Structure 1
Amino acid sequence: MSHRCGLTNEDLNRRWCKPSPVLHPSIYHTKGLIEYLVRVWKKPPLVYCDYHGHSRKKNVFFYGCAGAESWCSNDRIVPDEPVKYLMLPALMHRLSPAFALGSCSFRVERERESTARVTVWRHLGVTRSYTMEASFCGFDRGPFKGFHLNTHHLQSVGSDFCEALNGLNDSATNVDIQLTKDLNGNIIEINLIGAEKDSEIEVDSEGGSGTDSVLKTDSDEDFD
């Protein structure tokens, strides 16, 4: 796989920890801009999201970061705020028929330490740091089941993503999230408590998404 490599034949999404201004200029300057917002302006981005194509899993979904799901013990001792990193995926699930909440994962794995998602989350303190994955293999759930993603699908997901961003409110401290899990620990329901209108979001159990967990990585190898 070499579709996201630079001219040095390196995977650019594995160079975010210590990018070189010569070898990885796009990564170096993008990280520098985010760091300037965080360190100098004291205005960290509300959301960071990069966009990938996934070669195995189907549908459109997020990878995010949860301290409680991190391999690093230092991350696990810091109190988590699930409402912050789960709200955007929950909104996307409600808005976008192409989005599969049950395929999302928020685990922070050691081998992903140098990715943009984890670096921006840990080094720069952006709680809502995601990779949005759009499958190369099409859909296995929802109204598009059995189809490949086309340009129209991707444009619709982009529009839904903008609408979901508009629904975020970093000052809404009175909103809480309650998770309902099955016997295997998989999330099957998300309740948003304290919003203007309490809403309930269920994970689609159709197709291949029923055994996925929002806070659990699939057993097969994933790429981000």
Structure 2
Amino acid sequence: MYDPSKLSELIRFARVDAGSTVIDVYPGDGAWTRLFSDIVGAEGRVFSFVPAEVAHFKNDPVGRMRTLAMEPGRENTEAVSADLVAMPEVTQQADVLWMHLFYHDLHTALMQAKGATAAHFNRAVHERLKPGGYYVIVDHAATAGLGTGDAQSLHRIEPAFVREEVEAAGFVLDAESALLARSDDPHSIKVFDPSIKGETDRFAYRFVKR
């Protein structure tokens, strides 16, 4: 997780407010799901969505999110799982769909094993968001011009390529942030390498459904 000032700025950037309905895609350890649950309050709703493509992982991502949803005060939170592109079938119309350090995985063999593509998923997101809803993506940046070339090997993706793909699904870029940019990241190292883990150059886009 980020330091408090960056965290606050990211929340403002994502436009998550009291009463919002939020879909947290592939929630990891649940830190963002918990944070969104606290923010949206009793009138809001948070769907912690674990794609079925990763549900078999040894850390039991679905079970972890179900346990989280049972914590005291988490009545506004629901853990759900389905094939990636079936996300609209297990969630409700949302104000915000949040994807943190996961978009690049849409271009890996694991996520495409059942035939889903980033284009399929982006259309599913467009279907599930309310008019005026926000699709927020934060990810590890790849070298300009590489597109998805490093998605499988380094877990990075070129920001401009992400924008092109998402806009092709009918979204409009509403804002971008350099809050997490790092000029000292050579972009040639895997994001899990100890020398750079947690300190990668990251981009943030907020798209809107008109």
Q: What TM-score bracket applies, with the shorter chain setting the length?
A: under 0.3
| Structure (1 or 2) with the larger CA radius of gyration | 1
TM-score by length of 1: 0.24
Larger RCO (alpha carbons 8 Å, 6+ apart): 1
